[in-house]
Amino acid sequence: MTSVPSTTPTTDRTRPPLRLSLKPPALPTGHVDGAWWPRSRDLAAELPALAEALADRLGVVARVVFAETFWGSTVPQVEVNAHPVALVGFAALDTDVVQVAGADRRHLDLLVIPPDAESPAAARALALAAADHTRLPARILAAAGISTTRAPVVVEHSPVHRTRHRTHTGGPERTRPAE
C-alpha cells in the first residue's frame, strides 16, 4: 500500500499548502522515503512547514542535510517551534535529495522536486517517489518528465559558516574548511 500524493495543510493560513508525499511508515525500502516540492530554493524559509509536517514521523526535527549546489548558501541554523534545526550543506551531495533527521536520529530521505517544475510532472514525481521502491532519485524525476540538468548554484563559504559535523557513525567531530 502506498500513500497518494496530497498537500498537507499547515497551521498558518498565510502559507500555501505543503507539497509532500511519503511512503507509508511500514515501507522503508527504496532510495527515498517520499518527495517534497518546495516553492523556492530558500531552504530556511521552506523548512518550517516541512518540519511541522514530518513531526509525526520524526518527532522534533534536529538536522537537515542538503546539497549546496541545489539550495545555495543558507544560514547554519533555523528555529522551528522553538527548537533549533541545523542546516548542513555539502557541495558533493545528491542534488535531488534532502535528509531530514529527528533528534533521535531517525531520518527520512526526500526527493526534492525543483520549485520551477511544471505541475503535472511534479504530481507524477510526488506519486512515483511515494510508490517506487527501486528507482534512483534522478530516475524518478526523469520518469516524471522533469529535467535534472540544472544551472550550478554558486556557493560562497566564509569562516562564519563553518559547520561542525559528526560522522554518520557518531564519530568525532570534524570541521568543513571554508573555501
Side chain identity at 144, as an amino acid letter? A
Mark out the alpha helices in the chain (DSSP H runs): 43-58, 68-71, 119-131, 137-144
- Residue 63 forms part of a structural domain: yes
Which residue from 89, 64, 70 is spatially nearest to 179, judged by alpha carbons? 89
**Domain enclosing residue 95, as ranges:** 22-146
- Residue 54 forms part of a structural domain: yes
- Residue 159 forms part of a structural domain: no
7 grid coordinates: 498537500
Asked whether the beta carbons of 86 and 77 are under 8 A apart, the reply is yes
Per-residue pLDDT of the chain in tens (179 residues, 90 and over written 9): 334 344 444 445 577 899 999 998 876 678 899 999 999 999 999 999 999 999 999 999 999 999 998 898 789 999 999 999 999 999 888 999 999 999 998 999 999 999 999 999 999 999 999 986 778 999 999 999 998 765 544 444 433 333 333 333 333 444 444 44
- Residue 155 forms part of a structural domain: no
Domain count, the chain: 1
- Residue 79 forms part of a structural domain: yes
